[in-house]
Amino acid sequence: MGLTERECWFWMCSRPWLGVRSIDKLLGYFKTAKNIYYGRNSQYTEVKGLSENIRKRLEQCVEKDETLLRRDMSRLEKSGGHFVCRIDREYPEKLRHIYDAPAGLFYYGHLPEKKRPMIAVVGAREASGYGLASARYFAGALAEMGIDVISGLARGVDGEAHRGVLENSWSLPENVFEAGQTWGILGCGLNICYPRENYSLFEQMKVRGGILSEYGLDVKPEPWRFPMRNRIISGLADGIFVIEARERSGALITAEAGLEQGKNIYALPGRFNDALSQGCHQLIQSGAKLVFKPEDIAEDYDISSNCLKSRHGKTKLALDNSEQLVYASLSLSPKDVDAISAECGLTLSETWKILLNLELEGWIRPMGKNLYIRRI
């Protein structure tokens, strides 16, 4: 019966040894994926710039087993996964115009919505407490404003950014699709959560956004794959927000890709002598927008901060004196309950009661055992 054009695209995109540049060279010669699949061995040698290794792989019958291919498609479907490629209308429009646009995407959840603004929040894997708290806070605040967040599901800033969005969306069940959602771009097979410590995030994001990869199932994480996925993160985003990055880092690669794609670049400042902030300071010197608060980003996308207050149902002026005192003692840096109690002149019992009320009202956020930060 033969394969359809789309099945041949699935076959191309699920060969981890067949990169996007090789696919484009093949398409330049054969014009369609079906012609590539059913091509003669003599034709593969005529494709300019194609490596000898790839020619040999294309000539191997085992790589063109239709039964195995349909088994792979069925396995993806049974795992809850989906596939989209350049010939599909659903393929993200933002990616069609970037350099080395992925030939196809494998994904869990759903694809980002075209009309919603999306910000990439990226930064150091070995981030400081300040960086982790900032990622969680800013991503959560942006989500409250209806801005989607995208990152790489890595350890550090990436994971905390996803977590900030998820914490916010789970707390707003009635408005979950009004609040921002979050997407993670993998540098490995769709069904592989790397690092494993983010597995809980991985599963939650299938419901509150999605997981995307240009690699099919079971493709192992390799160091060289991660810089490659950064172009997809920046390509899907309207802006790139860098939180803590050394002078040479993956976050700066994403920002650089964003610059080439004409995206807005944002950076969070840190201490002048902090190595983890040198990349951010470098970006700011080069013209990136310096960010102090979520509204600094939201204002570029016609998003009003009023939506934050409407969900809380209470303005700061409506807080009683003790609540205002506790709220004022908090900042973006996590603070221990004992320190809050001592600073405000309240008993521990009074402090815990106020913290609970403020958390329920959405003014503050827990950041670990007995630690809290402000949500502006």
pLDDT in tens, 132-152: 999 999 999 999 888 999 999
pLDDT at site 95: 96
The stretches in the chain having pLDDT less than 50 are 172-177, 304-317, 376
pLDDT at site 315: 46
DSSP 8-state secondary structure symbol assigned to residue 346: -
Domain ranges of the chain: 1-78, 118-309, 313-374
pLDDT at site 318: 58
**Whole-angstrom Cα distance, residue 376 to residue 317?**
13
Sheet with strand 182-185: strands edge to edge = 82-85, 104-109, 209-213, 182-185, 148-151, 118-123, 239-243, 264-267, 289-290
pLDDT at site 306: 45
Q: Can you give the pTM of this predicted structure?
A: 0.80
Vertex 371, ends 367 and 375: CA angle to 5°? 60
Give the DSSP letter string of 89-107: TTS-HHHHTSTT--SEEEE
pLDDT at site 349: 92
pLDDT at site 311: 38
**Whole-angstrom Cα distance, residue 42 to residue 35?**
13
pLDDT at site 109: 97
pLDDT at site 305: 46
Pairing of strands 118-123, 148-151: parallel
Question: How far are the Cα atoms of 25, 50, 55, 205, 294 from residue 39, in angstroms, in the given order?
Answer: 14, 14, 11, 40, 53
Nearest-CA neighbor of 166 among 203, 213, 216? 203
pLDDT at site 94: 95
Give the DSSP letter string of 241-294: EEES--SS-HHHHHHHHHHHTT-EEEE----TT-GGGHHHHHHHHTTPEE-SST
User: Tokens at residue 291, please?
Assistant: 């960010």
Which amino acid, 370? N
Within 8 A by CB and 6+ apart from 12, the residues are 18, 23, 26, 33, 36, 37, 103, 104
Structural contact between residues 237 and 263, judged by C-beta atoms closer than 8 angstroms? yes
With the C-alpha atoms ordered 10, 16, 22, 24, is the resulting torsion angle positive or negative? positive
**Whole-angstrom Cα distance, residue 32 to residue 3?**
12
End-to-end Cα distance, the chain:
61
Crossing angle (nearest 10°) for helices 129-144 and 157-170: 40
The CATH number of the structural domain formed by 118-309 is 3.40.50.450
> Among all chains, which residue has been given the structure tokens 């695209």?
9
| Alpha helices per DSSP H over 122-156 | 129-144
Query: Does domain 313-374 match CATH 3.10.20.30?
Result: no
Helix (H) or strand (E) holding 240: strand 239-243
